[in-house]
Amino acid sequence: MSQEPFDAPRLAINRVYTRQGDAGETGLVGGQRVPKDSARIACYGTVDELNACVGVARATAKEMSARTPEMAELAAILLRVQHELFNLGSILATPPEAVHPKQARITDVEIAQLEAEMDRMNQDLHPLRSFVLPGGSRIDAELHVARTVCRRAERECVSLGRVESVPGEAVRYLNRLSDGLFVWSRWAGHVARAPETLWEPNQSASGRSDG
């Protein structure tokens, strides 16, 4: 069954600054004023940070696609994820009583899509024999940065859910997305033939025996 489309954005940004937040408060969708360090603001602020991190990785994937055409698929996935993160931010920026029926949000459709992409791309990868250290390549590192920010966004959504209502799809989506970012980091290295850097406990200063 197809889903009714979300409402298009209804905003006009004529100037960037308004001075309305100089007292340490900001407005939610619906007009409510809340402190800028409230749990809800922290939650969707981290989702915004995550979106920026995904954008950095998408730019790298686009650049790499000139010599590694398979990376165009990853760039397209990351662009879709950026739209989805804005949808997630929209619903997190709205108190439950102010949510409109056609307001942008995350649904089970987005979660299922992430799972399908992970399963398909993971089939190309060999099983891990240790944990992966970020930095096998630039895009690997960028996707791991996004993954860790995604985990923080998930934790903050859980914290928000202890004091206010949070859609269950929000937490599930961030959980799957963090896994997806891990799989995509490995997949990107695989198609670009960049070797993974695996954790070796005895490569620490105290673990080496050749000193």
Q: Are 144 and 186 in contact (CB under 8 A)?
A: no
- How many beta carbons lie within 10 A of that of residue 107, not counting itself? 14
Percent of the chain with pLDDT over 90: 60
| Residue 17 pLDDT | 52
CA-CA distance, 93 to 99, in Å (whole number)? 10
Q: Give 6-50 pLDDT, tens digit per residue.
A: 777 666 566 655 655 554 655 555 546 555 667 888 898 999 999
What pTM was computed for the model?
0.86
Residue 1: the pLDDT is 42
Which residues on neighbouring strands pair with residue 198, listed in sequence order?
132
pLDDT of residue 28: 52
Spatial CB neighbours of 205, under 8 Å, sequence gap ≥ 6: 211
Q: What is the DSSP string of 158-206?
A: HHHHHHS---HHHHHHHHHHHHHHHHHHHHHHHHTTPPPEE--GGGSTT
